[in-house]
Structure 1
Amino acid sequence: MPDHIDFTRMLLLAVDAWRYGSRDGQQQFDLQQALTTAVDAAGAAAGLDPAAWHRQPAGDGFLDFIADSGAELALVDPFVRELDAWLGRFNHDRLPNARLRLRLAIHHGGAVPAACGYAADGPVHVCRLRDAKPSRAALALVPEANLVQVLSEPIFGSVRQRLTTLSAADFTPVLVDEPEKEFREKAWIRVPGVSAERLSRLIEPEDLTIWVAPAAGSEGARAAALASFDAAGIPRPDHVPGTGDAFVVPLSSAVSGDFVLGVWVHHLHEAVGTSGRVTVSVGIAAGRDLDAARRLATGEPASAVLAGVADAPVVVVVSEAVHRRFVAGSGAGMVHPDSYRRTGTEPESWLRVPGYAMAPHASSARQTKATAPPAHTAGVVNGPVSNIGSAVIHGSYVNGPVYHGNGLFG
């Protein structure tokens, strides 16, 4: 390291474009051009000088280093307002997948010129905030939004002291906790035009409400549900009195929403399938929304599949908010998005039948069941839904001796 280090503290602006990697080369070229034009135009309209910023590009975004610390208030307030307006005009006539949508984070921290741009804690900090799960979730869960703005704790001090036209109540506090990267910092998130209360409910639901609705004649739904919580390693949630079989599951770092949709649903399917006496539909809503969970569990889409698919003892219906965050927006891979299908009802919801790679419709499932070949009567039966290689078999199959053609049986 050199004896003299050109260390300074400066404003840092990190910007990233939504769904950049899913576009082709020409689309990426156009997006990069639009991105730089948008930021430069918004900066100029806010009285800033983007030409003087030091820009470190990254394909789908960039990191701007702004030496003028006096630009902080303009960057936090009018710059973001002008950028949102520019994006609104740009996106007005575009198809949803062609829109330019941004995550941007603002921080004030240390930076040192280095071989590939800048080093030190400042650039790392602002990029962690921009790429954090809450900021990604905010953009994913508010499809009409053009951008999500993330402020570090030092920058939010200007808002807290009422030095901008923004109010502290416009922002949602979040904890960016990434133990694998040894990063744990508080941040403040805002989506222009969206209340902090609504955003908080979307990106940081404290609970999931699960309504288990047994079909007529089924017994033991509550016992199966409780057994599946135990098998999944989820502390037994409180049963909601007077609701049938409804449970509120507190979310935590150990029990996430995608863990519930993946691991818990798997164990529920096993518990119900082995009982032979239980057939249930499950509604899952974000927060403590008992009415929404009940409607999802007892609505026509779930009832039709439960009645029309002979080998489907469990049907799961989740709300749009739950699907966006824990299915479409999850990187854990516990549930494949293709296993859900949109029900097309109001409010929007998504349906899944555990054991099916794609959620069946009642009519097509009945036809598949009727035309399936009769089960063998010898060997060990493994069913009712089995994955063999790339095939998904609905019904029983024989798991018996297989002749390999070399004189050996497996």
Structure 2
Amino acid sequence: MTTAKLTQATKHWDIFCTVVDNYGDIGVTWRLAKQLAAEYHIPVNLWVDDLHSFSHILPSLNPALRQQTFNSVNIFQWNNPLDISYVAGSVVIEAFACELPEQVKSVIDKLHNQAQSVAPHWLNLEYLSAEDWVDGCHGLPSTQPSGIKKWFYFPGFNRKTGGLIREKNLFNERDQWQANPNNKMALFKQLGLRGIHVDDTVVSVFSYESPALTALMAQWQTLAKPIHALIPKGRSLTSVAPLLPVDVNDLMPGQQFKMGNLTLHILPMTDQIGFDRLLWSCDFNIVRGEDSFLRAQWAAKPFIWHIYPQEDDYHLVKLQAFMRIYCDNLAAEISTAWCEVNLAFNQGDQQAVVNYWQQLHSVILPLQQHALNWPNNALNDADLASRLVQFVKNS
């Protein structure tokens, strides 16, 4: 690798991302990079350590290429050490506490300590959380050994935080899509899904493994109204394996299995636009991690959040913090049913998830209305990219 000339060369931004759990971290950073390029005309270099996983949500990406460009974002293979020349820009973001390459930190430090040079703004983009302590930690600096400050940027649900990722036209596009049922039916056909009628209940499932999912699907088989579960190949299907007549490893997109009044459809992987439209088209979404969690909220449909498990069940603390703000103005019977079904799913409690799903079904209409109102309340006037650009200007 060659080192950069020690002056700030361009106004581009660098975003570094290590891929965790295949799609979550890269999903967030890819959306942010695209939005910065499209809406703020900022040149963005996105450095990713696992292009193969990235290609699942960006099918045109070639994992064998070290450098390529999509949606006006330059995508680089992040090898350690870097084997691509690094030129410092105006901002460098380490996503979710990933460790910057030593070459990059060296360039930043030298720019900071050299006269007549401008060091990049250095930010750590943190995970999304609704916990109270986030308000006080957002925007705090950490002075590095060289003297340069690294700023901690926390996404969040109120004006004291860094906001939430949402593209400028997203809600208008969603509303136009959902206004015409032909859109969802055309999407189902495009995905190779057969036998779904316009009034059938459709649930998308993108979760981690959970015995609660097995219990739910067993219950869905007995419902009076047809229900369709749409599941991509991956971790969710491990929980469904006991219900299937074939080995999970042999499943192919487009296959479907009818079990009572439940039809299970195997989904192909899709890009982010396709995933958003899938969430918009379903009646209920079971999602995981951070990126799909937020997109389920923007879909304005009821959902279960299967949060990433952490030691000592700390993920349940995060779940409960979000549930408090999501249910702040909900009637008790709606709030209880929704919170308990989320807790039961995350704890793998089979009996509880079935019981509370039945209660949830009895309050589904007001819950749907709440899901429709929530996105505008959660946005708090400004999205993450807008606040991030302003934060850089102010700091």
TM-score, scaled relative to structure 2? 0.24
| Higher RCO (C-alpha 8 Å, min separation 6) | 2
* Structure with the greater alpha carbon radius of gyration: 1
Greater fraction of residues in helix: 2
Greater fraction of residues in strand: 1
TM-score, scaled relative to structure 1? 0.24
